[in-house]
Amino acid sequence: MWRNYKHPMFTKVKKAMYKYNMIEDNDTIAVGVSGGKDSIFLLNSLAVLKEILPVKFNIIAITLDLGYENDYSTVEKYCKSLNIPYHIKNTDIAKVVFDERKEKSPCSLCAKMRRGALNNFAKELGCNKVALGHHSDDAIETFMLSLHYEGRIHCFAPSTYLSRIDLTVVRPLIFIAEKDIIYLVKKFDLPIVVNNCPANGKTKRQEVKDLLSDMKKNNPLVKDHMLSAIINTIWKGQTNTE
């Protein structure tokens, strides 16, 4: 486990957690671990913060096996090294999305099914919160997708209470850029599972990612400005009194 307690990345995670009231005493938090860089970095961050924060909480790691025949043994080994319980939930999501429904734009349905399966399994395991690895680039891309393809100003919330199942979804990495996660995951050799999804790199989100990359060439601060706009407008009502 990477334990540089004073690293700015941990400061950003703590800032998000306290600003948007993501954590409370006696929480049991299910971390959705796909095996990708973001979820592994999130798991590491929460494991470190569990050791140093005054708030007492428990962590459970959950992987949804979508049916791509991925090997999660490295994730299981890593969770053991962190002393975090690890659970794999087998699903037929890939079969439904690609074989039965044959979706041309599969990401929306896949995401919806994954959210439902993860939330339900977290409740079965006694969790009251689910932590997802969405970072600041995800927020900006979601904002752009909504603007370009839905004609509305929208982004997922840092913390969302789901009253139907009495569960809160939190996103502690929202102040961290994707490039920083990539750098740190490589530097500290955190275990990663290759994404075998056939739609990987062929999505509308990837188109927006490429567009933002081009925009950044002319304005290096474009992502910072967009994130500030999201924080000060869409997320404004969710800020707790500090």
Banded pLDDT at 241 (limits 50, 70, 90) = very low
Q: What is the pLDDT of residue 1?
A: 66
CATH of 8-237, one of 3.40.50.620, 3.40.309.10, 3.30.420.40, 3.40.50.720: 3.40.50.620
Average confidence score pLDDT of the chain: 91
Banded pLDDT at 66 (limits 50, 70, 90) = confident
Banded pLDDT at 2 (limits 50, 70, 90) = low
DSSP string, 70-110: ---HHHHHHHHHHT--EEEEE--HHIIIIIIS--SSTHHHH
Banded pLDDT at 94 (limits 50, 70, 90) = confident
Q: How confident is the model over 143-188, as pLDDT tens digits?
A: 999 999 999 999 999 999 999 999 999 999 999 999 999 999 999 9
Q: What is the pLDDT of residue 102?
A: 74
Of residues 30, 27, 196, 29, the one with CA closest to residue 118: 30
For the chain, what are the domain ranges?
A: 8-237
Q: In this structure, are strands 159-162 and 129-131 parallel, antiparallel, or unpaired?
A: unpaired
Backbone angles phi, psi at 112, to 5 degrees: -65, -45
Cα end-to-end distance, the chain, whole Å: 30
Q: What is the pLDDT of residue 242?
A: 32
